Structure 1
Amino acid sequence: MNASQEVPATLANWLEPPSNRWAFNHVERLLDTAVIPRGRTRPRRLAAAGTRLDETVIATTGGSSTVAEFLARTATDAIVVLRGDQVLFERYYGEAAPDRRHVLMSVSKSIAGMTAGCLVDDGILDVSATVATYVPELASSAYGTATVRDVLDMTAALRYNQDYDDPRSEVRVGDRAVGWRPRHSGDPDGVHAFLTGLEPDGPHGRRFQYCSATTDVLAWVLERAAGLPYPRLLGERIWSRIGAEHDAVVSTDPVGTPYACAGISATARDLARFGRCVLDGGVVDGVQVIPEEWIHATRRGGLAAVLPDRDLGSIHPNGTYRNQWWIPGDSAGTLFGIGIFGQYLWLDPERDVVIVKFSSLPHPRDGRSEHAVALAAIAEAVGSEHGTWGA
C-alpha cells in the first residue's frame, strides 16, 4: 500500500468517514464485481476547453460561495462539466483520477431506467405488465402485482424503511444481503432472497415511495425480458454504444446477482458520456442508442408533486420522479440522478450542460439541497443560451 492509501477500508467501515474517501475509488478491492463491457468501439473524443471556474461565485443554500469552496466543503472526489463534446471544467482530488472508477451509488438507478426504455422500444418489455409476468418468483412478494411502470416510477407500495442509519431498516438488510456490510444472523442469503421476502403495504401506483429494492426488482425484470445477465445487458445496450473509454463494473452478491440500485462504478468522463447521450436525445454518432421519446417522457415527469423528500422538495416543490430519474420541474427542464454521499449526474437541456460530481460525504444524505442549488448555478455559469433539444 502506497502513501496515497493511508486510510484503508474494510467491509465494516468502507461506507463510513474517513474510510469512504479511499473506498469509493477502490470498490473492486473490497467487493465482488462484474464487468459492464465498453466493447470495442472508439471512445467518444472529449476536448478540453480549460474553463477556469474555481473562483466563480455561485449561489448556494447559504447564500453564495466560489466553486472551489463548494467543492471543498462537499468532499468532492471528481467533477466534470461538459457542454457538447467540450470538457469545460474538470478536477480530481485525493484518490480519484481520470481513469479510476468511482461508485455511483443511486445514479446507478438512472442507467437502469434508460436501459428499460431500450427494451420497451424493442417490444420485449411491457410497462403495463405485472412484475410477476416476468419474474414469477416475485408473485407472492410485495412486487408481484405491481406493474413495471410502478417499479420504474417508484410507486410500488411495500413495507420498506430507507433509513440508512437504522441497522434494522430494509435498506441496511439489503446492503448486508448483497455483501456491502457484515452479515447479521438471519439475514437473507443474497439479493433475490431479500426481494422475495419483502411484504406489500397497500395498493400500488398511488404514491411515490423511494425504495432501493425497487430498482433491484427492475433489473431482475430487465434480465428476464432481454434474456441476458444484467451486466451484459447494460454493456450491449448502453455502455458499448456511448463511446465509453473504460469498462464499468457493478457489485454483485456471492452468486453473481447485481446490486443494480447502487452498485455501478464508472469513471467521471464515461458517466458524462452517458449523460451526453441522454441530453442529445439518445443519439451517439448518428445512431439512436436510447429511444428519444423515452427520454422526452422522462423529462415530462411522473405524478404531480410526488416528492416527499425533505431536502429536494424544499428546493423543487413541483418536482417529480420518472423512469428512475429525478425531475425538478425547473425552467431549464433539468433531470438528474443522485446517489448517497454526494454522487450526481446533472443534465441541463436549456444550456446543453452535463455535470458529473463524485463525492465522499460523511453522511448519506448530506448536502442534497445545497447540491441542487449549486449544480444548477454551475450549469447557468457555463451554459449556452439554448440547448440542443426541446421539451
Structure 2
Amino acid sequence: MKLIRRILLTLFIFILLVSLIAGVFFRREARRLYYVITLFDQDKISQNFRGIVDIFPTSVVKKPDRPNRFPYATSRIQLPAYFSHEDSTINTQNFLDYTLTDGLLIIHHDTIVFEQYSNGFSETDHHISWSMSKSFISALFGIAISEGKIKSIEQTVTEYLPELKGTGYDGVRIKDVLQMSTGVGFNEDYGDFNSDINRMGRYLALGMSMDDFAASLKRERTPGTYNHYVSVNTHVLGMILKRVTGQSIAQYMEERLWQKIGAESDGYWIVDDTGMEFVLGGLNLIMRDYAKIGQLYLDSGRWQGQQIVPESWVLASITPDAPHLIPGSPNSNRPSGYGYQWWIPEGGDDEFLAQGIYNQFIYVDPDKALVLVKLSSNYRFKKEKISSRNITLSFFRTIAEGLN
C-alpha cells in the first residue's frame, strides 16, 4: 500500500510539474490565441485595436528627437451633415457611428482642418493599421531599389529567396508580388473560420514562423494575369527587404523613412516568434503619423524638399499598368484597381488609397491637395465589406468636393 501511495504521489508531482512548465511556456501563446479568436467581438474590438501591442511582441520604430507636426488651420471645416451614395442620402454622424469610427483626420494643403476621436481613442493612442501597412512596405521597397539593394522588380522572388523554390512563389516576378498578381492560391475570407487568412492569424498567435507559412502556399494561376489579393504576398516582400538590407523592417523603416518625415510618435510592428515583422498588417501608429505617408505620396515622395521615396516609384505605385489591374477588370477579384500595394478606386481621376480591414483608410486626392485618414473598429465589416468601402469612398469624395 505504501508503495502504491508513493507511486501515486510521484505521478501527481510529475503531472503538477509538467502542468506548471506548460503553463509557463504556453500561457503566452494561449493568451494570444484567445485574443485572435475574440479580436473582432463587438464589445472588445475598439479596445483590442488600441491595445494590440500589449498582447503581441513588437519591434519599435523610434520617432526622431524633433518631430514635424502638421499645423492647424485657424478655421476648421464642418463635416457635411449628409452625403449621397448611389440613390441614397446618408446622415454623416449616423455613418460614422455605424462604422465605429475611432478617428477621422482631414489634411488640406498640408494643414489639419478637421480632427476627431471616438470610442476611447485620443491623439496619442496607437491604432492597428491592418493592410494599410502594405503601403508602407511599398515605400520601403522603392527606397531599397533606389539604393541598389534590389536590382529590378523584373527579377524573380527566388533570386533573392532561394528557400521559396518549389513553392507558389517559385519563379514569380517581384513586380507580380507588388501588384497582387502572383497566381498563388489563397482564401482571404475573414468570415470563414477555416480560410487561409484566419488560419494565418492563428498561426501567428501560436508563435509560428510566417516565413514557413508563406512557403506552404501553392500556385493556382499563371502569374501576372489575374489580380488576386493575397496578403501573404506582402510578407514575401518583407522577406526580401530583410534579406537585402541586412536589417529588420523596423530598423530600415526608422532610418530611411520614420526619422526623415519627422514622425510624432514611435511606431510598433507586431512580430512573430522569430522576430519577423507582420508586414502585411501589423503596423501600429497614431492617426497623424498615418497621414504622413499619405502626404508623402501626395507630394510625389518628397518631404520638406527632400526626396525620400523616388518620384518614379510613387507614380508607378499608384498607376495600374496592365489590363487585370485596371478598376473594374474582369480579371480581378476586387472592383478597385491596384498598383504597388496601393488601391486605385473605380470612378475616380487621380485618387488613391491605402486601406485595411474593418474600415481603415488613408485617402489621397492630389487635385484637392487632400489627405484623409479614417480609423475604425467596424465589427460589421465581415458582412458589409464591399458596400462599406463604397459608402466610405462616397463620403470622402463629398468632403473633397466641398474643399477649395
- Aligned letter for 1:379? A
Partner of 2:116: 91
* 2:398 pairs with 1:381: no
Q: For 2:96, which of 61, 71, 91 is the aligned residue?
A: 71
Contact 2:49 2:127 survives alignment (8 Å): yes
Other-structure match for 1:247: 266
1:258 aligns with 2:305: no
Q: Distance in 2 between matches of 1:177 and 1:50?
A: 48
Shift of 1:262: 0.7
- 8 Å CA contact retained: 1:34, 1:251: yes
Maintained 8 Å contact 2:187/2:196:
yes
For the structure 1 residues 378 and 190, does the alpha-carbon distance in structure 2 shift closer, same or farther, using more than 3 Å as the test? same
1:362 partnered with 2:379: yes
Unaligned 5+ runs, structure 2: 1-33
2:189 aligned partner: 163
* Whole-angstrom CA distance in 1 between matches of 2:80 and 2:363: 21
Decide whether aligned partners of structure 1 residues 48 and 30 sit closer, same or farther in structure 2, where only a CA change above 3 A counts.
farther
Q: Deviations over 1:41-97 (max 9, x none)?
A: 432342244424245432234622343232122110001000122111110002211
C-alpha separation in 1, matches of 2:379 and 2:327:
23
Query: In structure 1, how many angstroms separate the alpha carbons of the residues matched to 2:380 and 2:325?
Result: 25
**Contact in 2 for aligned 1:102/1:268 (Cα 8 Å):** yes
Q: Which residues in structure 2 correspond to 1:107-256 (within 5 Å)? A: 107-125=132-150, 126-179=152-205, 183=206, 189-256=208-275
Return the offset for 1:371.
1.0
Q: Name the CA distance, whole Å, in 1 between partners of 2:192 and 2:348.
A: 37
Give matches, 1:25-36, under 5 Å.
25-36=50-61
- Alignment gaps of 5+ in structure 1: 1-8, 385-391
Task: Compute the displacement of 1:352 (Å).
Answer: 0.5
2-structure distance, mates of 1:147, 1:106: 22
In the other structure, the counterpart of 2:362 is 345
Matches of 1:303 and 1:364, distance apart in 2? 30
1:104 aligns with 2:129: yes
**Corresponding residue SS for 2:373:** strand
Measured in 2, the distance between the counterparts of 1:71 and 1:123 equals 44
Per the TM alignment, residue 12 of structure 1 is displaced from its structure 2 partner at its CA by: 3.0
User: Which AA in structure 2 matches 1:370?
Assistant: I
Aligned-partner residue type, residue 152 of structure 1: L
SS class of match (2:343): strand
Deviations 1:206-255 (A, max 9, x none): 11110111111111111112221111112222222112100111111122
8 Å contact kept, 2:129–2:360:
yes
The verdict on how the C-alpha distance between 1:49 and 1:77 changes in structure 2, with shifts beyond 3 A counting, is farther
Q: Please give the alpha-carbon distance, in whole angstroms, between the structure 1 residues aligned to 2:343 and 2:119.
A: 29
Aligned equivalents of 1:294, 1:275: Cα separation in 2: 14
Q: CA RMSD in A?
A: 2.2
Q: Aligned with 1:270: secondary structure?
A: helix
SS of aligned partner of 2:402:
helix
The offset of 1:284, in angstroms, is 0.9
What letter corresponds to residue 244 of structure 2 in structure 1? A
The SS at the match of 1:355 is strand
CA contact (8 A) 1:131 1:146 kept: yes
Counterparts of 1:50 and 1:120 in 2: how far apart (Å)?
A: 42
1:173-197 deviation line (CA, Å, top 9, x unaligned) = 2111211xxx5xxxx9221111111
* Alpha-carbon offset, residue 376 of structure 1: 1.8
Residue of structure 1 in register with 2:7 after alignment? none
Question: Which range moved further: 223-232 or 58-67?
Answer: 58-67
TM-score, structure 2 as length reference: 0.84
Q: C-alpha separation between the residues in 2 aligned to 1:77 and 1:61?
A: 25
In structure 1, the residue matched to 2:14 is none
More helix by share: 2
Compare CA radii of gyration and give the structure with the larger one: 2
d(CA) in 2 for partners of 1:309, 1:266: 32
Quickly say closer, same or farther: Cα 1:329–1:54, change in 2 above 3 A: closer
Contact 1:61 1:369 in 2 (8 A): no
**Per-residue CA distance 1:161-182 (angstroms, 9 max, x = gap):** 1111222211112111211xxx
